[in-house]
Amino acid sequence: MKLKRAATLLMALALLSPNTLGAQAVPVKRPNIVILLADDWGFTDVGAFGGEIATPHIDALAAKGVRFSNFHVAGSCSPTRAMLQTGVINHRAGLGNMPETIPSEHLGKPGYEAQLNNRVVTIADQLRMGGYRTYLTGKWHLGYTPDTLPTARGYDRAFALAQSGADNFEDKPNLLIYDKTAWSEDGKPVKLPKRFYSSTLIVDRMISYIGSGKASGKPFLASVNFIANHIPVQARDADIEAYAGRYNAGWTVLRKERRTAAIAKGVMPADVRTVTMNSSGDWSKLSAQQRQQRAGAMAAYAAMGTAMDREIGRLVAHLKAIGVYENTIFVFLSDNGAEATDPMNMGAFTRWNANQLYDQNIGQQGRPGSLTAQGAGFASASVSPLRGYKFTASEGGLRVPMIITWPGNPALKAGSVAKGFAHVTDLSLTLLKLAGFTPQQGSFAGRRVEPMIGMDLSPMLTGAASSVHSADKPLGYELSGNAVLFKGDYKLVKNLPPYGDGRWRLYNITADPGESNDLSGSDPQRFAAMQRDYAAFAKANNVLPMPEGYTAPKQIFANALRNLLIPRLLALWPAGLLLVMVIATMIWWRRRRPS
């Protein structure tokens, strides 16, 4: 008993003094690490951040740990995942843009490889070298080829999806974007079971991997990457029915409810102002059928979130059962804000194509065979009280729920809210330090690599510091022409169409997280200085200007057309040639017949 207390005290002291965490500095058993990455969840989708969606298991992690209310990622999935895995800004990690939205003019340029490049190393690389078992399940989206899949990037075992999303009940892709699914296991293509649900399958595989390595006695890294709630939004009937009628009042009412709850939970200031996004539309002007359709889609979205939370609870229960829960660090976050894009609202051709490929009847929403999306209106509620959503550089696209907990470590300020600025590049560095490692700073295994740029969040976990980012140190970001410069409490931001007008604006995102008061006119000196800082960031990181007329939605369509239509036409040419030959023969025969 005394030995256990001593070990706990040493663990607490190690966390209270994070600068001492070198490779030899932690005398207790190194912690396990579990990263729980949700897909396309808005800031207030989690109950502990003000949401009405039932997420009791995520909320339990929040109660044991620290919620970060000013935590930022990229505006879409793979750039965030690259920064999370490496602690390096997305342009230097190879994800200056992702495969689905990159213009052909940029593809292959430095920083625009559209996959994790070989100039970076992952948290798995570093932990495995230090004696950890390393596992990944679920969405990877950082490369398709054997040399870019997880088992080539530091993971011992991996069950991985190389695409942005896939069906949750069948081994089929989003047919509007991909021809076939790209699931692999340990670097080799794998067929999925006949009957499965994605969140359950992803956790099943992780539990299996953890069990397979338990006899080694080594600590583990478990990177659990859900495809909930990416399009297609799908859930089991019972989960959908639990939310029947819940969203009939519409998104305007829900935005107000979420704002009030976020203030009550302590993750938003009491006087936070909100804006009405033009893209969300007016609920009161919808027809009864349109309201039924939109409320049903949101019910499916909430159901998918609850299903994912249940699987997190099952994983946590398993770790408790095998006696490792107390000495496991858990991180929960979303890869970007809520998704506003809806294939049924993207023009006549896309709507027609969706209707041909899927069962889009209102009563089928969220069920097998459907292609359901939350849509802009309810996406604006998912990010409430913030502005913007996925793809944008507004807070609704970049600020997401994030929780860190270490249940057996008493130094954590359990149940607290860390309100200082934090960034996704901070996470891998923080986790390495908490595990007792010195993160790489430009050299790994005898070769030069991109150094990690993150800050150690440990002082924010104990309450020793409100922020670890210097108020005078800028941090730049860009994706698809939507750009940001963070500096202290301030944010310089511009969004290209269709999300904005391409103009720079300035906000104090500590006092005004809803981005309601543009300070560019009232604080011209800061505005100009931060524009210079952004220009320096863009030059140093080879940020390319977007082609004339570029928009992310148009590029997704163009890339899908090129990647799907042309191969399908080429695949059909033998049949087409045969048909032409048959027709030509018939014409020749008819002409040869005597009259």
Average pLDDT (183-203) is 97
Local confidence band at 279 (pLDDT 50, 70, 90 cut-offs): confident
Answer yes or no: is pLDDT of 25 > 50: no
- Indicate the burial class of 318 (C-beta count within 10 angstroms; 0-12, 13-18, 19 or more): middle
Integer Cα distance of 232 and 354 in angstroms:
11
What's the confidence (pLDDT) of residue 281?
86
- Omega within 30 of 0 (cis) for the link into 18: no
CATH of the domain at 241: 3.40.720.10
Contact 265, 43 (CB under 8 A): no
72-109 burial code (b ≥16 CB/10 A, e <16):
bbbbbbbbbbbbbbbbbbbbbbbbbbbbbbbbeebeee
What confidence tier does 13 reach under pLDDT thresholds 50, 70, 90? Answer: very low
Domain residues for the domain of 197 are: 2-462
Element (H, E) at 7: helix 2-16
The pLDDT tens digits of the residues spanning 517-526 come to: 999 999 999 9
pTM of the model: 0.92
What's residue 588's pLDDT? 61
Mean pLDDT of 472-487: 97
pLDDT at 5: 45
Tens digit of each residue's pLDDT (9 = 90 or more) over 31-55: 999 999 999 999 999 999 999 999 9
Residue 276 has pLDDT above 70, yes or no: yes
pLDDT in tens, 130-173: 999 999 999 999 999 999 999 999 999 999 999 999 999 999 99
For residue 576, being part of any structural domain is answered with no
Tell me how far apart the alpha carbons of residues 525 and 518 are, in angstroms, rounded to a whole number.
Answer: 14
Residue 569 clears pLDDT 60, i.e. is over it: no
Query: What pLDDT does residue 84 have?
Result: 98
For 502-540, letters b (16+ CB in 10 Å) and e give eebbbbbbbebbbbeebbbeeeeebbebbbebbeebbee
pLDDT of 439 over the 90 cut? yes
Per the prediction, the chain carries an average pLDDT of: 92
- For the CA atoms of the chain, what is the radius of gyration? 25
Neighbours of 434 (CB within 10 A): 25
The answer as to whether 419 is a domain residue is yes
Q: What is the pLDDT of residues 491-537, one digit of tens each?
A: 999 999 999 999 999 999 999 999 999 999 999 999 999 999 999 99
In which residue are the tokens 């849509």 written?
375
**Is 423 among the residues known to form the active site?**
no
Residue 19 has pLDDT above 70, yes or no: no
Instruction: Look at residue 593 and tell me if it is in a domain.
Output: no
In a domain, 578, yes or no: no
Q: Which of 57, 72, 91, 141 is catalytic?
A: 141
d(CA 286, CA 295): 11
Confidence at 26, pLDDT banded by 50, 70, 90: very low
Per the annotation, the verdict on 77 as an active-site residue is: yes
Out of 72, 77, 230, 423, the active site residue is: 77
Whether residue 512 lies inside any domain: the answer is no
In a domain, 428, yes or no: yes
| Tally of structural domains, the chain | 1
Is the residue at 422 inside a domain?
A: yes
Nearest Cα neighbor of 534 from 470, 478, 458 is 478
433-443: average pLDDT:
97
Does residue 206 belong to any structural domain of this protein? Answer: yes
Taking 3-state DSSP, the helix, strand and coil percentages for the chain, each rounded to the nearest 5, stand at: 40, 15, 50
**Strand pairing report for 443-444 and 133-139:** unpaired
| Tens digit of each residue's pLDDT (9 = 90 or more) over 370-420 | 999 999 999 999 999 999 999 999 999 999 999 999 999 999 999 999 999
pLDDT at 166: 97
Q: How many Cα atoms sit within 13 Å of 265 on the Cβ side?
A: 28
Q: What's the full length of the chain, in residues?
A: 595
